[in-house]
């Protein structure tokens, strides 16, 4: 699926906005969307099952949920550093913490999760770390 250029999209949205203004619906805009018939059937069934007043209500809520989810997504650029340096950084990071999760180490230090798991496993074998229960 190709979205087209921003100019194409602006023209289409402008047309919808113009229609909505003429119809007195200035707060909301009309957005025609194509979906497969199977998706429409599923949407109808789920809307009825979960007590939505209309398919539109379900679609609006789904769009709002997706926007919220995407806004919360943070892209982390993983650093490509030598294993020995990563190991030193991990040890320094852990020293300042009472309890830490491997995923937190990877996220905060911007290291590959697999690399961090490997290094943490190594540190356990070297008895430089102990498990907190």
pLDDT per residue over 55-111, tens digit each?
999 999 999 888 888 888 777 789 999 999 999 999 999 987 888 999 999 999 999
Residues 60 and 114 occupy one common structural domain: no
Between CA 123 and CA 19 the distance in angstroms is: 64
Q: State which residues form the domain around 117.
A: 83-125
Between CA 11 and CA 2 the distance in angstroms is: 16
Helix (H) or strand (E) holding 9: helix 6-22
Report residue 2 as tokens.
């190709």
* pTM for the predicted model, two decimal places: 0.47
Does 77 reside within a domain? Answer: no
Does 78 reside within a domain? Answer: no
Q: Is the dihedral of CA 103, 79, 109, 93 positive or negative?
A: positive
Span 1-14, mean pLDDT?
Answer: 46
């Amino acid at each position: 699926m190709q979205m087209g250029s921003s100019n194409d999209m602006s023209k289409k949205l402008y047309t919808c906005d113009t229609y909505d203004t003429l119809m007195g619906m200035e707060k909301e805009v009309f957005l025609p969307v194509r979906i497969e018939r199977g998706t429409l059937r599923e949407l109808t069934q789920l809307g009825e099952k979960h007590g939505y007043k209309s398919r539109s209500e379900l679609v609006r809520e789904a769009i709002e949920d997706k926007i919220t989810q995407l806004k919360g997504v943070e892209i982390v650029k993983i650093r490509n550093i030598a294993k020995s340096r990563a190991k030193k950084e991990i040890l320094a990071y852990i020293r300042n913490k009472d309890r830490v999760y491997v995923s937190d180490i990877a996220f905060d230090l911007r290291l590959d999760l697999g690399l961090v798991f490997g290094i943490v496993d190594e540190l356990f074998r070297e008895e430089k770390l102990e498990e907190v229960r």
